[in-house]
Amino acid sequence: MMHTATQLPEIYTSEAGAVYQCDRHNRLMLSFAGELTMLKLDAFLRLKHAVDSIDLAAMASNPDRSSDFSIITLCGCDRCFVLTLTELHTLKELLAGAKFVLELNRMLHECLAPSIV
Helix %, strand %, coil % for the chain, to 5?
50, 25, 25
CA separation for the pair 90, 63 (Å, rounded): 22
In whole angstroms, how close is the CB of 70 to other proteins at the nearest point? 22
In whole angstroms, how close is the CB of 81 to other proteins at the nearest point? 21
Select from 42, 52, 55, 68 the one that contacts other proteins (CB under 8 A): 42
CA separation for the pair 104, 97 (Å, rounded): 11
Instruction: Say whether 71 sits in a helix, a strand or coil.
Output: strand
In whole angstroms, how close is the CB of 105 to other proteins at the nearest point? 6
37 makes contact with other proteins (CB under 8 A)? no
Give the Å distances, CA to CA, from 101 to 13, 25, 53.
11, 19, 21
Selected range binding other proteins among 20-28, 58-66, 78-86, 87-95, rule: CB under 8 A: 20-28
Closer Cβ to other proteins, 35 or 106, answer by number: 106
CA separation for the pair 101, 115 (Å, rounded): 22
**Of residues 43-102, those binding other proteins (CB under 8 A):** 45, 102
Q: For residue 28, list its beta bridge partners.
A: 21, 39
**By the criterion CB under 8 A, which residues form the site for other proteins?**
9, 21, 23, 26, 28, 41-42, 45, 102-103, 105-106, 109
